[in-house]
Structure 1
């Protein structure tokens, strides 16, 4: 009956039922004696399947008697159906009552059901639909494909991850024919997928005790050049050890091609990497000097980009001891590794330190193509609420696309303005106001730029925010702060703001030009929007609306120049429109 779970079949309704294992031979014999028997049974089962499906798709007939919360979304279920179709739910509903109830319905949380792995909302709906109808629906494209238009989606990471989620659901909720089906599907991925994408297949096979699938994955990984440290970080201990053992057994056959391993060197490298795991960059520096091993020899920056906190990556980069464009033995630069992790702050930190976005892996992938193949359309096109941060998937792709297409000199433009005095306070006031308006127009992008520049960790100098204060003092005086301390603090703030503005120039050149012009021509008049006569306020309102149009045109130019804008179309554009419209209405 395992094959009955294939998408082309709709006759597997009773296949996973544990309480109706005995199908009467009477029905089978009677149907075999009549030509109309099988046809009538197919029609009846199909109609039953369709009727039960209405319980899921028709919101007007919500007769569910329980809810399961999946990724924060309540899903109504019927315990009688789940108990009849799944041994897991049969035992659950028999022995337990819900810990909390709403409208008389027991509520359960999906995360409480899972001893390992993840089952997302869309995967659970597919699984639930099968329990109700006996039919396995096609996987939704928004969660089972990637945003790489050149991908066939036959072995990209979202396709694998969605099948992995369904494998977890099938195994944990004890529906054996689905386990068999998704085991075959995952087997088909192994030969076509990138090595990194085989890892989640191996992990789910291990947890779900699928020995056949485990052996196939282990064989693929053992024949690869994936290093031992990565094996230990990404795989369960038993699996990693079995791969190492398999490699040792196969060593005599190709001993002549094997590079001997220096155990002392490997031990020292591991110490350096453990220091990175402990976020102790000072210890890393000490171990480097004592061992004579360089960061490049240890591939420490690759390791940090893959596994460590972004702040640790930034600290290692600030040492200036590593080549950001160095390829590891597998042909990946640090930027390629960061793209696999999809952490925007690490990607931007590497780019600002000279990482080349155009560098390619041995199989021809760039950092942006790696990100695209890892990103689902659902995540890329997710709409953010006003003021919320743009999702990381979209930021990573957008930043890398812009870096691939930007003018190499665009990021080297120095900050200058004819209205800026040499005085430190005047420079700070200019920068604070400029960054404040950037945060108003592009909140998510400005936040990321400030994080990279560490501007959020420095004390703010009174700029735009000072206009909202009723007192005449721009800043409270700290009597314990000496003039030297104050100067150091202000210069630290200025350097962070300068770097923030440079980041904006680098990735949003047209929008930066609009801000430059605004700061030079209009800031003194528009700084206090609610002040002046009615005519003056009307003029300010008109100019403010013109500024809004200028910024929107700049977005359009950036979008045209860089082919596709990943940041402006979601949070920033809507935030810009809402904020400016709100201020204009107040006038």
Structure 2
């Protein structure tokens, strides 16, 4: 795969005939002993290429007459250039010429509307456009064609493959045959090096682009691999899965003949496993429980947890875990634990759910990969280092890696995660008030991470406890009071809320130990004074404001301690610290 250290491709506008003529002239002049000087045609083409490139890179003057929206960014293009270089764009612009859209201004297109399937990202389209304009193929940007695994040479990691797949797809759909040939050769080189699961996107794009050589090589690689049949059926088009299975059966038959033995496959047993998987596909965990009672198949025999983590909604995964019938550290036939599969999916809530149920982050695959190394190998620098806008969720790729790294470094013998503050009274209402306040401050300081912890704990599904704070309001807020609620029902509701909040705090203690210590001290020493910043005399409010700013500094220092335990920054992203500063600033400004 090309990267920033590679030279530009030799593909250019210059034809072979032009080059041969130039060479011939050069040889003729050399034979007479005279200096022929620079080849005028080569100089002209090079200058033309540079001038056309300025149309793409010069942002001061925009002469584009159409726009293509790619991943939310409008890319200005010049129809005359694209139409002359690509039959696809020639037909597209010819069809829209004279339309009402053209009369209103620039023609506007959305990349997803131009593609019958798959996607082409912004960076890949820029590389493709650069070739159309200049005849030269630029190196692939490192931030989208490499992964964040420092030990990876990036010769066949998933981002490198995905970027080449996008370029091949764009070249095929937009009908640039010389680029199709180039990227097909590049992907052919990947097939033998890549992990078999990373061959799937290559095979898929080769199938849609009707590249028979690439399809044949990928099919053979997948058929002879240890990839399970379920993955083949779920992740490949039906026609491709049909090509893989006969080859796989023949390979299995050859192995049986060599070993003079036969593999007995129980069709009844397999049918029961399939029913469990279909029940999971339908999000029907109750049906799964029924199927388990009606047969001798267990969740582990069906690899049901692996299946749910790979293909089902996170809520279904949580419900399967709550059954307590599956081994969370079970390995499948390929040696992958459930956490390894979760790392491939990169869904933070699933990863955290597995870790809280005892999944071991240090377990390695047969080829020596941990869950965090799997996750890193799948993540682009662009995604890992992306800044999160205020009020939006933290980048999932980063959270997954940071959570797994934290777990790898976490001391398994650390203190009891249960609540132990001596300020907590035995009274249920006082415990709830303490927890509500503690979680509220955690949400102020770490909004995205606190939301993730609350989602894992299902805290959002329980009603917030106003309790003693309600009576302190000027209007005596009674929104939590239900006169028809019996004491038994009320206690059940409050206990459910307390359990969810305690689990939320446990998540914070587990992944933000230093920050949790600061919050603990704040809750014990300062909460009664700082909870009502607007109360008291002007001098008292000034002192409270100063102490609140000190708290902000303490939390920031604790934040840095937590991050220092990582080789890179820790679970809390830079956006969280920005949110912290803004929140505190806004709070103090209102005083």
Equivalences for residues 508-523 of structure 1 within 5 A: 508-523=512-527
Q: Which residue of 1 aligns with 2:327?
A: 323
Secondary structure in 1 matching 2:150: coil
Deviation at 1:13, TM superposition (A): 2.4
- Whole-Å Cα distance in 2 between the matches of residues 53 and 523 of structure 1? 61
Structure 1 stretch displaced more, 538-547 or 336-345: 538-547
User: Which of the residues 361, 366, 386 maps onto 1:362?
Assistant: 366
Query: Residue in 2 aligned with 1:20?
Result: none
Q: 1:270 aligns with which of 261, 271, 274?
A: 274
TM value normalised by structure 2: 0.93
Per-residue deviation, residues 125-179 of structure 1 (Å, max 9, x unmatched): 0000000000000000010110111110111100000000101100000000000
Structure 1 residues 335, 424: closer, same or farther in 2, change over 3 A? same
Q: Which runs of 5 or more residues in structure 2 are unaligned?
A: 1-5, 30-35
Q: Aligned-pair distance for 1:183? A: 0.2
- The CA distance in 2 between the partners of 1:459 and 1:118, in whole Å, is 42
* 1:71 corresponding residue in structure 2: 71
**Aligned mates of 1:104, 1:181 — CA distance in 2:** 36
Give how far 1:570 is off: 2.2
SS of the residue aligned with 2:68? strand
- CA distance in 2: counterparts of 1:102 and 1:334, whole angstroms: 57
Cα 1:465–1:159 shift into 2, 3 Å: farther
Equivalent of 2:486 in 482, 485, 488: 482
Contact kept? 1:432, 1:464, Cα under 8 Å: no
What are the Cα deviations for residues 398-420 of structure 1, in whole angstroms up to 9, with x where unaligned?
Answer: 00000000111337322022222
Distance 1:161 1:141 in 2: 13
Q: Check conservation: 1:433, 1:464, Cα contact below 8 A.
A: no
- Tell whether the 8 Å contact from 2:530 to 2:548 is kept in structure 1 after alignment: yes
When normalised by structure 1's length, the TM-score is 0.94
Which residue in 1 is equivalent to 2:447? 443
Point out the more displaced range, 473-482 or 155-164: 473-482
SS at match of 2:463: coil
The 3-state SS of whatever aligns with 1:568 is: coil
Look up the match of 1:19. Answer: none
CA contact (8 A) 1:275 1:283 kept: yes
Q: Give, in angstroms, the shift of residue 499 of structure 1.
A: 0.5
Deviation at 1:397, TM superposition (A): 0.2
CA distance in 2, matches of 1:411, 1:203: 49
Kindly provide the CA deviation profile for residues 183-213 of structure 1, in whole angstroms up to 9, marking residues without a partner as x: 0111111111111111111111111111100
Conservation of the 8 A alpha-carbon contact between 2:343 and 2:372? yes
- Structure 2 match to 1:229: 230
Paired residue for 1:287? 291
Question: Which residue is equivalent to 1:41?
Answer: 41
**8 Å contact 1:83–1:93 — kept in the other structure?**
yes
Q: 1:68 touches 1:75 (CA, 8 Å); kept in 2?
A: yes
1:250-281 Cα deviation digits (max 9, x unpaired): 33321136632211111111110000000000
Most deviating of 158-167 and 461-470: 461-470
The separation in 2 between residues aligned to 1:541 and 1:477, in whole angstroms, is 33
Which residue number corresponds to residue 214 of structure 2?
Answer: 213
- 8 Å Cα contact 2:9-2:138 kept in structure 1: no
Instruction: Evaluate the alpha carbon distance shift between residue 99 and residue 569 of structure 1 in structure 2; reply closer, same or farther with a 3 A threshold.
Output: farther
CA distance in 1, matches of 2:467, 2:131: 59
Which of the numbers 407, 429, 450 marks the counterpart of 1:425? 429
Q: CA deviation at 1:472?
A: 1.7
1:298 alignment partner, SS class = coil
Instruction: Give me the whole-angstrom Cα distance separating, in 1, the residues matched to 2:418 and 2:439.
Output: 16
In the other structure, the counterpart of 1:56 is: 56
Candidates 570, 574, 584, aligned match of 1:580: 584
Contact 1:467 1:528 survives alignment (8 Å): no
After superposition, the Cα gap between the structure-2 partners of 1:128 and 1:406, relative to the gap in structure 1 and judged at 3 Å, is: same
Q: Give 1:57-136 correspondences, 5 Å limit.
A: 57-96=57-96, 100=101, 104-136=105-137
Name the structure 1 match of 2:241: 240
SS at match of 1:174: coil
Distance 2:539 2:486 in 1: 46
Shift of residue 476, structure 1, vs aligned partner: 4.2
Match of 1:414 among 389, 411, 418: 418
| Aligned alpha-carbon RMSD (Å) | 2.2
CA contact (8 A) 2:329 2:360 kept: yes
Cα contact 1:399–1:507 (8 A) shared by 2: yes
Of 353-362 and 415-424, more deviation after overlay is shown by: 415-424
Query: In 1, Cα distance between the equivalents of 2:580 and 2:478?
Result: 27
- How does 1:434-473 map onto structure 2 within 5 Å? 434-462=438-466, 470-473=474-477
